[in-house]
Amino acid sequence: MNIRRLILEGEGTMLDFKKTITSNEKIAKSLVAFANNKGGQLLIGVADDGSIKGVKSEDEERYMITKSAHQFCKPAIEPEFEEVHIDGKLVLVVSIARSETKPHYALDENKKWWVYYRVKDKSLLASKIIVDVIKKSADTSGQLITYTEQEAALFEYLAEKGRITLKEFSKLTRSSYRQAQKILVSLILSGVIRPHSSEKEEYFTEI
């Protein structure tokens, strides 16, 4: 494994750097976010800026991650470990596969379970729409698209504005939030529109 090449790519949807493991809750959040998306790798012993610090105790880090994966993730996650020596330092590579039993939930400091999803280099709390997408994406039967006036109104709006929120779509089509959400989930799974999440809002664009 070429660790330097991975580090140069930087943190992203499938790669996260951790200088050290500080809490089971924080690492569970990352594990769940990867499993709920496309999978990914954690490089333990690498700082956020990409500098290699190495791990002090490989056994301790491995124990913390395994405990997080089994006790702080629901359903439990099975990480794979690889030790890589570079510049006289040890980097622990933790690989998380894309899950077939998603959504996975992570236990937080208040003993509550939440779904997280990987967006670029962030592990974000999943909205109800994203949780629904994660649940249905585990079903490989595919999606059948039937376009109605609501979908037509959506694409016309996107062509003009470029983006839309659930609230805007609900208002545009005079439909309930639940009905609007169902349509958006179907279109996301069909690969027609893409969700975008930030700390402030969630919106949707055409692919």
Domain 137-206 bears CATH identifier 1.10.150.20: no
**The pair of three-digit structure tokens given for residue 13, joined into one six-digit string:** 């949807």
Decide: pTM greater than 0.85.
no
* Fold agreement (3-126, 137-206): no
Domain limits of the chain?
3-126, 137-206
pLDDT in tens, 115-163: 999 888 989 899 889 999 998 887 655 555 567 899 999 999 999 999 9
Backbone angles phi, psi at 206, to 5 degrees: -75, 150
3-126: CATH topology is: 3.30.950
Is a pLDDT exceeding 80 seen at residue 198? no
Residue 142 has what pLDDT? 52
The CA distance from 85 to 79, in Å, is 19
Strands 202-206 and 193-197: antiparallel
pLDDT in tens, 39-59: 999 999 999 999 999 998 889
Backbone angles phi, psi at 39, to 5 degrees: 85, 180
Tokens 């379970």, located at residue? 113
The CA distance from 159 to 153, in Å, is 10
